[in-house]
């Protein structure tokens, strides 16, 4: 399987300094066009939720690439992803296989081997004919460091820049192609 870090490939493509996001960060900041950030799990969850809402409003010809580090991390929001899959062309879920989630004809699982660089990253890449968005964050702590996993720290980037989102999609498509070989 192709080895790459979406974070390493994308983070340096965005300009600007790194903002610290915390519980007081409002949705307009999380929904900004381009942002480099440090945050904890709750802010990443909110950022992804905002991005996902566009996919739930109406059907579109979108493709969605979602990296959860471990597949089990998608369990709490799996009902939402099943609804998203009903509205888009395809959803690709990346992560270590540590759970069996209910299947959907428009969801493909890309199971990552232990130690693959993408298992340290949380990402959501959305490509549509009109409108593209992505978020990628590197897990600075890893699992098992905190009693409360929501305290894990991440460093990442979010953008709606179509060239950068297309680059991210292309990189993930290379991983998918190598998975299917």
pLDDT score for 143: 67
Please tell me the pTM assigned to this model. 0.93
- Kindly report, residue by residue over 35-92, the tens digit of the pLDDT: 999 999 998 998 899 999 999 999 999 999 999 999 999 999 999 999 999 999 999 9
Contacts of 147 (CB under 8 A, 6+ apart): none
Ordered by where they begin, the domains of the chain are 6-12+34-180 (3.30.870.10)
- Dihedral, CA atoms, 111, 61, 47, 91, nearest 10 degrees? -10
Is residue 37 within 8 Å of residue 156, measured between CB atoms?
Answer: yes
Burial 54-65 (b: 16+ CB within 10 A, else e): bbeeeebebbbb
Radius of gyration of the chain (CA): 15
């Amino acid at each position: 399987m192709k080895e790459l870090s979406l974070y390493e490939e994308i983070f340096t493509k965005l300009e600007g300094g790194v903002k610290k996001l915390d519980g007081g960060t409002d949705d307009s900041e999380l929904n900004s066009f381009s942002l480099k950030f440090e945050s904890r799990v709750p802010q990443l969850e909110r950022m992804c939720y905002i991005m996902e809402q566009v996919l739930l409003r109406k059907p579109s010809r979108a493709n969605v690439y979602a990296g959860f580090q471990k597949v089990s991390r998608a369990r709490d929001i799996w009902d939402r992803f099943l609804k998203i899959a009903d509205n888009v062309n395809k959803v690709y879920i990346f992560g270590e296989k540590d759970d069996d989630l209910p299947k959907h004809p428009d969801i493909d699982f890309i199971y990552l081997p232990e130690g693959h660089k993408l298992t340290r990253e949380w990402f959501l890449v959305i490509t549509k004919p009109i409108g593209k968005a992505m978020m990628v964050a590197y897990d600075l702590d890893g699992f098992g460091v905190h009693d409360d996993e929501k305290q894990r720290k991440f460093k990442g980037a979010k953008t709606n820049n179509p060239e950068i989102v297309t680059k991210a999609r292309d990189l993930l498509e290379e991983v998918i192609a190598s998975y299917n070989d």
